[in-house]
Amino acid sequence: MIRVLLVDDHTLFLDGLELLLRRSSAQYNVVGKIHEPLKTLEFMEGVLIDLVLIDIEMPGVNGVDLLKRILSRFPHMKVAVITMHDEDQFIQEVIAAGGHGFLLKSWDSEELLHKVNSIAKGIRVFPSRPKRPNQSEHFSDRETEILRLLAKGKNSLEIAEDLFITINTVKTHRRNMLRKLKATNTSQLLKFGFDNNLL
Write the single-letter amino acid at 47: V
Domain span including residue 140:
135-195
Specify the CATH number for the domain of residue 12. 3.40.50.2300
Residue 71 lies in a domain: yes
Note whether 173 and 103 are same-domain residues.
Answer: no
Domain assignment present for 73: yes
Mark whether 91 and 148 lie in a shared domain.
no
Region for 105 from its dihedrals, namely left if φ exceeds 0, alpha if ψ lies in -120 to 50, beta otherwise: alpha
Which of these three, 86, 120, 154, is where a domain ends? 120
Q: Taking residues 28-49, what's their average pLDDT?
A: 93
Looking only at the bridges linking them, the beta strands covering 78-83 and 61-62 are unpaired
- Within a domain: 106: yes
**Domain end call among 60, 87, 120:** 120
Per-residue pLDDT tens over the stretch 115-141: 999 999 999 998 875 444 444 457 888
168: CATH: 1.10.10.10
Give residue-wise pLDDT tens across range 152-186: 889 999 999 999 899 999 999 999 899 888 888 99
22 pLDDT band, cuts 50/70/90, is confident
In contact, 98 and 71? CB cutoff 8 Å: yes
Please state, in angstroms and rounded to a whole number, the distance separating the CA atoms of residues 12 and 65. Answer: 23
Given a cut of 70, is residue 81 above it in pLDDT? yes
Same domain, 115 and 23: yes
Percent with pLDDT over 90 in the chain: 56
Instruction: Please tell me whether the overall predicted TM-score, pTM, comes out greater than 0.85 for this model.
Output: no
Q: How many domains does the chain have?
A: 2
